[in-house]
Amino acid sequence: METAYLGIGSNMGERENNCLKAIHMLEDMGIKVTTISSMYETKAWGVEGQPDFINMCVGVEISLPPRKLLHIIKDIERQIGRVETYRWGPRVVDIDILLYGMLVINELDLIIPHPYMLERDFVLKPLIEIAPNALYPVVQKSIINIIKSRY
Report the amino acid identity of residue 5: Y
Of 28, 82, 109, 150, catalytic: 82
Judge whether 82 counts as a catalytic residue: yes
Of 28, 52, 75, 96, catalytic: 96
> CA geometry: angle at 72 spanning 67 and 75, to 5°?
125
Judge whether 109 counts as a catalytic residue: no
Average pLDDT value for residue range 31-46: 93
Judge whether 120 counts as a catalytic residue: no
* pLDDT value at residue 125: 93
DSSP code for 83: -
Judge whether 94 counts as a catalytic residue: yes
User: Which one has a higher pLDDT value, 5 or 108?
Assistant: 5
Q: Tell me the whole-structure pTM to 2 decimals.
A: 0.94
Question: Could you give the domains of the chain?
Answer: 2-150 (3.30.70.560)
* pLDDT value at residue 86: 57
Strands 105-107 and 53-62 come out as unpaired
| pLDDT at residue 89 greater than cutoff 70 | no
Of 15, 52, 75, 91, catalytic: 91
Q: Which among 116, 124, 130, 126 is positioned nearest to 148, based on CA atoms?
A: 124
